[in-house]
Chains A and B, each alone.
Chain A
């Protein structure tokens, strides 16, 4: 008998470099500071002087989980600057690619990061020991999303087939149809995920969020739509900067976003669902009605249910798009031969919420200025408010209990820093 080799294939992760400082006075949270130490990455600066055609591939590198979102916002912003319109099958293929990203990103968060919180495990590895089938369902869903990215994007992570005006190559119909058996199975798994998530035990919490998302006249928003909020904002998406601003806080490298003249707001699945629940495709709508999910969910812990609903709608949409697909004559719309200096901005719905890009390009086609506002920085101020309410509700918790509770509260919003199961260093001052 020989020694045993156990194949694991775990990608080692750099844990999110954040800490949380709480200052409690008289049993109330006086100061709540979520500190992000990730060094600034200077993407906006390194885009300057590069060809506008490079922007989708450069910005895709910002995130390994949601590179498609960066590619889509970059393409839409630059196409607006160039006066290009991408319609028909090319538009459908982009939506299909986004479906793939929503499926893989949400499945990762639901099963590997969020579900262990509700089932009482420190991480998915330990959860898999008792709930193997559950974790396997999550992995199968993630693989289905990745299959779309690989076929349409050229590879699973950081796709290489997206360009301003469309794609470098588009698949023939029969190639796209090879995804259908996988996606049909994924649709069933997604429905089971919705039912599984809705049956989890949730703390009773209601938050008074201002929700912000895109809204499209006909479909659940991904690439297009107006900016709307639950407080009545309606604005063309390219005018994002008129309604929102980023501010520097002294304790964090990450900028925080706020409503101009207002406060914190929330983007992501809870916001999208609250503002677009009447845009669900039919099968998903039926399941949402069957589980009795209310149209506006204000309990952040129940974001796992809404995220599951979005996985199901993305599977349903992906199948619909593939069945209706007829390849375009050309894989992309050509940009104008002579460029006049121009600027353009766009917002698309990344899995974690709205993602804003703005570019200014010169006559030479080089980028003069770029601005990117990702969803995690938009949610950061609102996450701090969640934490403040959490601490105020039970200030008698021990530091260990506070750390666990705060990590859970942060994971509800799937910020990029939540990739690590345990990421918080908690500093508590009690006066």
Chain B
């Protein structure tokens, strides 16, 4: 149940980011996973297509950074560190290039 809620939150955040940034497609996402997080990389990878299905991130690549630092104050957490927006997405009326 915890995983389902977590995935639902990740999905909502991907949709919100696309909306705020004004982009219609997200090509990739990078997750930082704490050493004590209650989810495995394998579970995240297998669930990812379902998490982003029907969102601007559908078909996106997932990069996972696994932390081994037990003392990190976020060790129990999972952080959506960044998302990657393809060039054509922001050229087509998005937030602009950098």
Contacts and interface: CB of A to CB of B under 8 A. Distances in A.
Contacts of A17: 1, 5
A11 B77 contact: yes
A3 B27 contact: yes
B73 A123 contact: no
B93 to A, nearest CB: 14
Contact of A11 (B8, B17, B78, B85): B78
B10 interface: yes
A157 B17 contact: no
Interface string A7-27: 111111111010000000000
Nearest to B13: A10
B74 A157 contact: yes
Contacts of A129: 20
If over half of A's interface residues share one DSSP class (helix, strand or loop), that class is named, otherwise mixed; here it is loop
Interface in A114-162: 123, 125-126, 128-129, 155-158
Q: Please tell me the size bucket of the interface on A.
A: 20 to 34
B80 to A, nearest CB: 5
Interface in B42-98: 73-74, 76-87, 90, 95, 97-98
A398 interface: no
* Size bracket, chain B contacts: 20 to 34
Contacts of B19: 126
Contact of B98 (A4, A8, A126, A158): A4
Contacts of B8: 15
B39 to A, nearest CB: 9
A37 B82 contact: no
A129 B17 CA distance: 10
A8 B81 CA distance: 5
Given A3-B85, A12-B6, A125 B77 contact: no
A106 B61 CA distance: 37
A7 B95 CA distance: 14
A5 B19 CA distance: 15
**Among A5, A9, A14, residue most surrounded by chain B Cβ atoms (within 10 Å):** A14
Given A4-B98, A10-B80, A156 B2 contact: no
Interface string B1-33: 110011011101100110111000001000100
A252 to B, nearest CB: 15
Contact of B13 (A12, A155, A158): A12
B81 A3 contact: no
B57 to A, nearest CB: 12
A123 B16 CA distance: 9
Contacts of A53: none
Interface of A: 1-15, 17, 37, 64, 123, 125-126, 128-129, 155-158, 420, 422
8 interchain residue pairs of minimum CB distance: A157-B73, A15-B5, A125-B16, A12-B78, A10-B80, A7-B82, A4-B85, A14-B5
Given A9-B81, A10-B80, A12-B10, 6 more contacts: A3-B27, A4-B90, A4-B95, A14-B2, A15-B6, A422-B12
